[in-house]
């Protein structure tokens, strides 16, 4: 099997590449900084999706193209990469690949409030990252419809594991370790995280399963915030926090506190700790036989147990 991976040097892409290499597959990897040629068991193609360049050699003739390149922090780069870059990749790949696997995000639903978000929930992105990821999905969906590009979209929640670029889990762990953490609002808020190894399994299923083309799949190892915080505290061998503060005063306080540079309290953080939104992943389990290989306790233990500094 031949595969091509954009974002092949990233947190998710490099693990996906390793999984394919372990199976004996031919792996092509795109990066802005690596020189053309062999390396790490795959073949690197130097290329910037945000700029014009030749992507044909990278994609030509692969069975699966995984589009994993993404920008999670710098808003000024998101439109050029997620939208213009996806358009360039579609132009290069149309008619030349067996299947496109799009690594999207549950962020595209922009869902807020106590709802169960499924693959049928309309997109309602709220911030620039979510909007540009949603536009990227719309582009590949349109290409799939008009140019018969076999497409699978995977939308994970927050992916965690050693080397994760998103710092929010480390900050949460730091608050628990320093005994500064408190729950916000009534019990039962949602923790929408998923271990990176499970996401790689899901990507492989999206790339290989005959029933996957034409489908969108959400992926999240949902649990309550209480369970997640207890698992995190357990992994670090520190006491499980018990303090709980009411939601409305915390929202008001956060609106003021976030104006102070460096404040740990913000409306976004209050929302993240009190949201009751869920992203059930029954569809990928039912249709592709996917199962979460690692449980949250085990995955958090691998990352945060004593002596480990992720
Ligand atoms: N991490 C999460 O929690 C999470 C959750 C849901 C969805 N996702 C999605 O998963 C994807 C991968 O995320 P990640 O966490 O692995 O990110 P990451 O570690 O920051 O990796 C980003 C990758 O994108 C590549 N890239 C960035 N700009 C590029 C450009 N202009 N041209 C070509 N390649 C470019 C980088 O390659 P070079 O620097 O080598 O060029 C790098 O390999 C993203 O699309 C993200 O939206 C992530």
pLDDT by residue (tens digit) across 143-197? 999 977 999 999 999 999 998 988 889 999 999 999 999 999 999 999 999 999 9
Check pLDDT > 90 for residue 261: no
Compute CA 296 distance to the chain's CA centroid, rounded to the nearest angstrom. Answer: 16
Q: How many residues does the chain have?
A: 310
How far apart CA 135 and CA 139 sit, in angstroms, is: 6
Element (H, E) at 195: strand 193-195
The Å distance, Cα 250 to ligand 1 centre, comes to 33
How far apart CA 290 and CA 26 sit, in angstroms, is: 24
Is ligand 1 within 6 A of the CB of residue 196? no
How far apart CA 37 and CA 73 sit, in angstroms, is: 29
How far apart CA 137 and CA 108 sit, in angstroms, is: 9
Question: Does residue 185 sit in helix, strand or coil?
Answer: coil
Which atom of ligand 1 sits closest to the CA of residue 50?
31
Is ligand 1 within 6 A of the CB of residue 159? yes
**In this structure, are strands 99-103 and 193-195 parallel, antiparallel, or unpaired?**
unpaired
Q: What count of other Cβ atoms lies within 10 Å of the Cβ of residue 47?
A: 23
Is ligand 1 within 6 A of the CB of residue 156? yes
How far apart CA 282 and CA 285 sit, in angstroms, is: 5
Is ligand 1 within 6 A of the CB of residue 42? no
The distance between the two most distant Cα atoms of the chain, rounded to a whole number of Å, is: 57
Is ligand 1 within 6 A of the CB of residue 69? yes
Radius of gyration from C-alpha coordinates of the chain: 20
Let me know: does 107 contact 279? Beta carbons within 8 Å: no
Is ligand 1 within 6 A of the CB of residue 30? yes
Give the residue among 50, 46, 54, 102 at the shortest CA–CA distance from 76: 50
Is ligand 1 within 6 A of the CB of residue 81? yes
Q: What tens digit of pLDDT does each residue of 18-31 get?
A: 999 999 999 999 99
Residue 256: what pLDDT? 94
The pTM for the full model equals 0.96
Let me know: does 62 contact 5? Beta carbons within 8 Å: no
Which domains occur in the chain, in start order? 2-149 (3.40.50.720), 168-187+225-274 (no CATH)
Tokens of 19: 């999984």
Task: Give the pLDDT band of residue 1 (cuts 50, 70, 90).
Answer: very high
Is ligand 1 within 6 A of the CB of residue 40? no
How far apart CA 188 and CA 148 sit, in angstroms, is: 43
Q: Which of 70, 82, 84, 125 to mutate to test the pocket of ligand 1 (most atoms within 8 A of CB)?
A: 70
As a whole number, mean pLDDT of residues 279-305 equals 96
287 vs 306 pLDDT, higher one = 287
Is ligand 1 within 6 A of the CB of residue 224? no
Residue 263: what pLDDT? 83
Q: Which of 12, 19, 39, 127 to mutate to test the pocket of ligand 1 (most atoms within 8 A of CB)?
A: 12
Q: ∠ CA(199), CA(204), CA(206), 5° rounding?
A: 90
């Amino acid at each position: 099997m031949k595969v091509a991976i954009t974002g092949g040097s990233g947190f998710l892409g490099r693990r996906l590449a390793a999984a394919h290499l372990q199976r004996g597959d031919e792996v092509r990897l795109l990066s802005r900084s690596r020189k053309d040629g062999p390396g790490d068991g795959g073949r690197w193609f130097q290329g910037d999706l945000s700029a014009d360049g030749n992507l044909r050699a990278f994609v030509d003739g692969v069975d699966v193209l995984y589009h994993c390149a993404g920008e999670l922090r710098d808003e000024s780069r998101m439109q050029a990469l997620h939208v213009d870059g996806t358009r360039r990749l579609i132009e290069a790949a149309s008619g030349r690949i067996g299947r496109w696997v799009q690594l999207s995000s549950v962020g595209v639903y922009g869902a807020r409030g106590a709802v169960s978000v499924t693959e049928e929930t309309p997109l309602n992105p709220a911030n620039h990252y979510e909007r540009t990821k949603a536009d990227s999905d719309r582009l590949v969906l349109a290409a799939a419809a008009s140019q018969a590009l076999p497409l699978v979209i995977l939308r994970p929640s927050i992916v965690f594991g050693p080397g994760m670029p998103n710092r929010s889990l480390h900050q949460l762990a730091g608050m628990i370790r320093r005994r500064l953490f408190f729950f916000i609002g009534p019990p039962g808020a949602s923790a929408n995280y998923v271990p990176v190894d499970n996401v790689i399994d899901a990507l492989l299923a999206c790339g290989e399963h005959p029933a996957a083309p034409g489908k969108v799949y959400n992926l999240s190892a949902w649990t309550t915030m209480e369970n997640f915080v207890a698992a995190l505290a357990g992994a670090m061998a520190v006491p499980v926090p018990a303090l709980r503060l009411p939601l409305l005063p915390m929202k008001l306080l956060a609106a003021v506190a976030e104006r102070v540079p460096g404040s740990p309290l913000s409306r976004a953080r209050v929302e993240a700790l009190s949201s009751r939104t869920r992203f059930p992943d029954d569809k990928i389990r039912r249709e592709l036989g996917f199962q979460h290989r690692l449980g949250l306790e085990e995955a958090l233990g691998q990352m945060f147990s004593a002596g480990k500094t992720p």
